[in-house]
Amino acid sequence: MILRFLRRRTVRNRIAAGVLFFIVISSLGVPLTLSSTSSLSRRLEEITGVNLRAIELLLTASEYVTSSRANLLRYRLDYAPSPYEARDDAQLAVETLTEARAFVSPDDQPVVDELLQALDDYQLLIDTVERANTPTEASRAEFEAYRLSNDIRQRIDILVKDERSDINLKNQQAVSEARRRLNLLLTGYLAALLLAAMMGRLLLISVVNPVEELRQSAERMRKGELDVRVPLAGRDELTRLAETFNQMAADLGEIYQQLENRVAERTRELTERSRYLEASARVAQAASSILNREELMRQVVDLIRDHFDLYYVGLFEIDPTNEWAVLRAGTGEAGQTMLARRHRLRLDGASMIAWSIRNRKARIALQAGEDPIRLATPELPQTRSEAAIPIHARGEVIGALTVQDDEPNAFNEDIITTLQTMANQIGVALDNARLFEEVQQSLRAAERAYAGLSREAWQLLLQMRQDLAYSEDAERGLAPLETPSLQPEERLALEEGRPVLGSQGADEGVPLAIPIKVRDQVIGVLDAIKDGDQDWTEEEIQLLQTITDQLGSALDSARLFLDTQRRAARERLVTEITTKIRATTDPQTMLETAVRELRQALRSRRAQIVVQTNDSESAEETS
């Protein structure tokens, strides 16, 4: 029936009907493809935008917690009059986490709530440090705050990892959805192609040999033979169709070649972007794991040069006078030579580095010799293109990167954007390394100060208590040493601060002297002797060392407790005497009370108070 229907129509009408059918199928497929692609693009943008915003806010909150802890330490070391900066940073962390809660996944929102509660507890500990009445209470609160801030930072890091995992999972889901839609589209296209093949078969049966020849040519072209051409014979409509077919084959061959070129270009771009992302990840890893500024700068310039295949990379930093940009790291022999001669550039001078720092943006010279302000360096004669990238940290420019290549036009917008991102990461890392060094210096200064105070306190205690020496053996038991004398191994252990094995006596075993330390300061020695000819094993020495360390800590705690008791007794005595003096308004009674209470408190034989001005001839004396 269908064949009879087709045979009633001309060849032109048959082909027109077939073409119309193909156009309808294609017009239905193209909107579906565009709609699917647009939907997937929007979904990927939403996934990436939300999760990246959450990660950014979480990392910002972590930085605020770190800054708060550093400011609290400054307050405890008397570098700040009050802990308001630590409290403000903690409040900023709360606000940032509150904002981040809207972007994290529902499973992580309870964790964010717990972190907010922990930050509230942390703020209470800051208030406790400020209101502490005793150093012990303040130290305990500071320790709790330090521990809690570390816990908060670790949990934030775990949240960041979860968000990144969530991004990967959602990306995988999006890829799966894309594959599913692609399969559906392919199925639809295949169905359309099947219908077109059926129509072609019917047309093939309904027309003569030229149409069969045309079909065979179309089949060959479908298999990839884009150079196929239909032989032309005559001037009828089939010949004109053959001419159209040949022209279409030529156009498809050209389009196919263009597509191949475009695919190759996109593949090359994706490869470059992958290399840029890898370089950015390596720089971020170095920035997060290296706290030494010099090592960080050396590794960063080497990583950028290797991953971007550049001729030279250098890192400049603004000096404290804000007049010079000083080279801190450079690659290759040229970099070492310039570092050796302390290469630097004036910030108000004519150079790409100075211009980039002053204007807070990158400057690019695709043809190095044509840039009017570029300053050529004799150590780098092969530079053909150059870019200067400013390094930002906390809203300020702290330096700049110079990247140079031996090929012209080596830098495009993607490279500059990636380099600027890495420069910002480097700036944050350098600033964090600087803060870390300052904190370390403060800690070392505090430890030295505490060690000095501890040494003076132990010297005073030993002067007051010269009977702090005890001995215990199987025959006499535990007894104080009235006249302690140091054995040779004890003296050597005190001097060198390490365990010392002594010589075996005639009737005794091998002695072992272990120094007792408090914060690396030797305050005493523990001497033990084994029975018989047995030697000390490594395990026994380690056990005695551990016990001695614990003993040192316990002794220091006891000393601090005694100091606290003495200060409390002194304050109580002062309060009692002051209260008795203020109990009366008569000056004579005040003086009598004061001299009497002072003599009794000091247990002196006589006390005297004389009230006299510089120009008075008489004085009032109370004894």
pLDDT digits (tens, 9 = 90+) for 104-124: 777 778 888 888 888 888 888
pLDDT given at position 404: 92
Residues ≥6 apart with Cβ < 8 Å to 254: none
Same domain, 354 and 299: yes
> Hey, what are 572's tokens?
């109580």
SS3 for 186? helix
CA distance 83 to 88: 9
pLDDT given at position 14: 61
* In contact, 452 and 444? CB cutoff 8 Å: no
pLDDT given at position 110: 85
- Long-range CB pairs of 424-428 (<8 Å, 24+ gap) are 424/391, 424/392, 424/393, 425/280, 425/283, 425/284, 425/287, 426/283, 426/287, 426/296, 426/297, 426/300, 426/315, 426/391, 426/401, 427/391, 427/392, 427/393, 427/398, 427/399, 428/287, 428/393
Task: Say which residue, 144 or 312, is predicted with more confidence.
Answer: 312
Residues ≥6 apart with Cβ < 8 Å to 562: 461
Angle between helix 135-206 and helix 11-76 axes, rounded to 10 deg: 170
Same domain, 508 and 391: no
| Structural domain span for residue 370 | 286-439
Same domain, 592 and 548: no
pLDDT given at position 27: 66
Please tell me the least confidently modeled range out of 184-193, 566-575, 584-593.
184-193
Please provide residue 516's backbone torsions phi and psi, each rounded to the nearest 5 degrees. Answer: -95, 120
Average the pLDDT over 139-160 and give the result.
Answer: 82
Across 181-195, 227-241, 272-286, 567-581, which has the greatest mean pLDDT? Answer: 567-581
Residue 528 lies in a domain: yes
Same domain, 302 and 165: no
CA angle (306 as vertex; 300, 311 as ends), nearest 5: 100
Provide the pLDDT confidence category of residue 7 given band limits of 50, 70 and 90: very low
Average the pLDDT over 397-407 and give the result.
Answer: 91
The amino acid present at 179, given as its one-letter code, is: R
pLDDT value at 333 more than 70: yes
Same domain, 400 and 511: no
pLDDT given at position 355: 92
pLDDT given at position 506: 47
Residue 221 lies in a domain: no
Residue 400 lies in a domain: yes
The amino acid present at 469, given as its one-letter code, is: A
Residue 518 lies in a domain: yes
Name the domain boundary from 439, 464, 498: 439
* In contact, 338 and 379? CB cutoff 8 Å: yes
CA distance 287 to 276: 16
Max intra-chain CA distance, the chain: 148
- Long-range CB pairs of 148-155 (<8 Å, 24+ gap) are 148/118, 148/121, 148/122, 149/65, 149/66, 149/68, 149/69, 149/122, 151/118, 152/62, 152/65, 152/93, 152/115, 152/118, 152/119, 152/122, 153/62, 153/65, 153/66, 155/111, 155/114, 155/115, 155/118
Residue 471 lies in a domain: no
Same domain, 30 and 92: yes
Same domain, 194 and 300: no
pLDDT value at 619 more than 50: no
* In contact, 316 and 400? CB cutoff 8 Å: yes
* In contact, 245 and 273? CB cutoff 8 Å: no
CA distance 83 to 66: 14
Provide the pLDDT confidence category of residue 102 given band limits of 50, 70 and 90: confident
pLDDT value at 546 more than 80: yes
Alpha-carbon dihedral angle through residues 272, 181, 51, 431, given to the nearest 10 degrees: 0
Residue 240 lies in a domain: no
Residues ≥6 apart with Cβ < 8 Å to 59: 156, 160
Same domain, 297 and 351: yes
CA distance 243 to 238: 9
Please provide residue 588's backbone torsions phi and psi, each rounded to the nearest 5 degrees. Answer: -65, -40
> What is the edge-to-edge ordering of all strands in the sheet holding 511-518?
500-501, 511-518, 521-529
Residue 254 lies in a domain: no
pLDDT value at 312 more than 90: yes
Same domain, 615 and 541: no
Q: Sign (positive/negative) of CA torsion 397, 403, 409, 412? A: negative
Please tell me the least confidently modeled range out of 3-12, 34-43, 47-56.
3-12
Cα 463 to Cα 402, 458, 466, distances in angstroms: 64, 8, 6
DSSP codes, 483-540: S----HHHHHHHHH-S-EE----SSS--EEEEEEEETTEEEEEEEEE-STTPPPPHHH
Name the domain boundary from 152, 187, 212: 212
Average the pLDDT over 194-220 and give the result.
Answer: 70
Q: Which residue has the tokens 């600027």?
A: 420
Name the domain boundary from 212, 239, 271: 212
What's the burial of 152, exposed, middle or buried (CB within 10 Å: 0-12/13-18/19+)?
A: buried
Q: Which residue has the tokens 């507890």?
A: 121
pLDDT given at position 442: 79
Residue 130 lies in a domain: yes
* In contact, 591 and 611? CB cutoff 8 Å: yes
pLDDT, one tens digit per residue, over 476-489 is 555 555 556 677 77
State CA 133 to chain mean position distance. Answer: 36
The count of other CB atoms within 10 Å of the CB of residue 531 is: 9
Same domain, 54 and 113: yes
Residues ≥6 apart with Cβ < 8 Å to 64: 89, 90, 92, 93, 96
Number of domains observed in the structure of the chain = 4
Across 7-16, 327-336, 510-519, 572-581, which has the greatest mean pLDDT? Answer: 327-336
For the chain, the average pLDDT equals 77
Indicate which CATH number applies to the domain containing 511: 3.30.450.40
* In contact, 517 and 553? CB cutoff 8 Å: no
Same domain, 194 and 307: no
Same domain, 56 and 98: yes
Average the pLDDT over 123-138 and give the result.
Answer: 80
